[in-house]
């Protein structure tokens, strides 16, 4: 999770708000246990010196199209964050296709990355973070190679005094029925980073949940005491699940898990992180989860690093783990 350092105060408070919930998953919600299987080296390494992803490769967002896995991930070259593409047949061996998006215009000169990829209505949709203060933008593509930006941000920061006044970032978009739901990080003027949700029927006009945020920072001393970000949401076992990045005061990052019956009222599955870096290369940072559900197995691509920095220079690379949710 990138810590958002915002110097300008911008009022973009003319957003839309609504009361809603996600469709309730079918069936009962049995007691479950969660097991993780992960380890080994990264599946996407940083690029060579001078390449667009030479310093950090993070924020994977993976979807399946026609049996092929597509991954839009973030790369940092020492000055600017970009988005690049990679493809795979098994999720472990990836072929990089190079940079596909860079910041331009209102997006500034720093970041056009940290996004959420979805194959929907016959094309790729990619919501990503850009600008200062951070807002959420949209790009679309028919083939995953040529991308067209929507133009202005599709989600602005909130009004003065709101929980997302200083940032709307880290989007994760899912489809549930006729609606798209966007989970995201909001930052207020006290630099608190919490999670909220919005919904849309076209991917462009979003209504924020009136009761946001839906998940607060952890208590003092917890792994997520200093901020939450980068949610990943899916349903199984009669409930909604959310993996998210938690950041402590040392800038160490770990992945937490929360559950909900309606996608709005969330509770932590555990007060402790459910996944922490087991290898030297991800010993200080695990973040940015993206999930693919295969029955009772949830494959999780994530960013990892061995340097605890607030924003970049993490020696970031992309890893793969599996989470199993089993009824007891």
Quickly state the pLDDT bin for 9 (edges 50, 70, 90). very low
Q: Average pLDDT in the 43-72 region? A: 97
pLDDT per residue as tens digits for the range 291-312: 999 888 999 999 999 999 989 9
Contact 173, 165 (CB under 8 A): no
Contact 139, 128 (CB under 8 A): yes
Question: CA–CA separation, 172 vs 255, rounded Å?
Answer: 15
Contact 4, 187 (CB under 8 A): yes
Quickly state the pLDDT bin for 8 (edges 50, 70, 90). very low
Looking at residue 54, the DSSP 8-state letter turns out to be: S
Instruction: Check whether 53 has a pLDDT greater than 50.
Output: yes
Copy the structure tokens of residue 313: 């220079």
Looking at residue 280, the DSSP 8-state letter turns out to be: G
**Residue 308 main-chain phi, psi, to 5 deg:** -90, 90
Q: What is the pLDDT of residue 5?
A: 42
200: helix, strand or coil: strand
Q: What is the pLDDT of residue 83?
A: 98
pTM of the model: 0.94
Distance of CA 230 to the CA centre of its chain: 3
Q: For 29-327, give the CATH class.
A: mainly beta
Q: Give burial (CB, 10 Å; 0-12/13-18/19+) of 177.
A: exposed
Q: How many CB atoms neighbour CB 32 within 10 A?
A: 18
CA distances from 26 to 20, 102, 235 (A): 18, 41, 10
Contact 259, 266 (CB under 8 A): yes
Q: Where are the domains of the chain?
A: 29-327
Instruction: Check whether 87 has a pLDDT greater than 90.
Output: yes
Q: What is the pLDDT of residue 37?
A: 87
Question: CA–CA separation, 226 vs 149, rounded Å?
Answer: 33
How many H-runs (helices) and E-runs (strands) does the chain carry?
0, 21
Quickly state the pLDDT bin for 269 (edges 50, 70, 90). very high
Average pLDDT, the chain: 94
Contacts 24+ apart (CB under 8 A), 305-310: 305/56, 305/58, 305/281, 306/280, 306/281, 306/282, 308/250, 308/251, 308/252, 308/253, 308/284, 309/251, 310/2, 310/3, 310/5, 310/251
Contact 83, 100 (CB under 8 A): yes
pLDDT per residue as tens digits for the range 188-244: 999 999 999 999 999 999 999 999 999 999 999 999 999 999 999 999 999 999 999
Copy the structure tokens of residue 90: 């098994």
């Amino acid at each position: 999770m990138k810590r958002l350092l915002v110097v300008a105060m911008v009022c973009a408070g003319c957003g839309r708000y609504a009361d809603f919930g996600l469709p309730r998953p079918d069936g009962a919600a049995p007691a479950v246990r969660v097991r993780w299987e992960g380890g080994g080296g990264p599946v996407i390494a940083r690029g060579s010196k001078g390449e667009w992803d030479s310093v950090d490769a993070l924020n994977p967002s993976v979807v399946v199209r026609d049996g092929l896995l597509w991954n839009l991930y973030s790369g940092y070259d020492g000055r600017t964050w970009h988005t690049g593409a990679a493809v795979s047949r098994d999720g472990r061996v990836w072929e990089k296709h190079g940079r596909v998006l860079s910041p331009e215009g209102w997006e500034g000169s720093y970041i056009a990355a940290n996004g959420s990829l979805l194959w929907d209505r016959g094309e790729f949709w990619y919501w990503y973070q850009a600008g200062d203060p951070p807002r959420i933008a949209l790009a679309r593509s028919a083939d995953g190679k040529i991308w067209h930006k929507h133009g202005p941000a599709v989600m602005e920061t909130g009004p003065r005094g709101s929980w997302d006044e200083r940032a709307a970032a880290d989007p994760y978009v899912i489809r549930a029925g006729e609606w798209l739901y966007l989970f995201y990080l909001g930052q207020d003027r006290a630099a608190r980073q919490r999670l909220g949700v919005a919904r849309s029927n076209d991917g462009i006009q979003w209504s924020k949940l009136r009761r946001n945020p839906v998940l607060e920072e952890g208590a003092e001393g917890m792994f997520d005491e200093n901020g939450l970000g980068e949610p990943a949401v899916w349903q199984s076992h009669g409930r909604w699940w959310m993996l998210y990045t938690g950041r402590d005061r040392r800038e160490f990052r770990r992945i937490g898990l929360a559950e909900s019956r309606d996608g709005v009222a969330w509770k932590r599955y555990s007060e402790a992180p459910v996944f922490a870096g087991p290898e030297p290369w991800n010993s200080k940072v695990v973040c940015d989860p993206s999930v693919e559900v295969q029955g009772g197995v949830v494959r999780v691509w994530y960013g990892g690093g061995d340097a605890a920095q607030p924003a970049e220079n993490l020696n970031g690379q992309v890893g793969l783990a599996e989470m199993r949710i089993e009824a007891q």
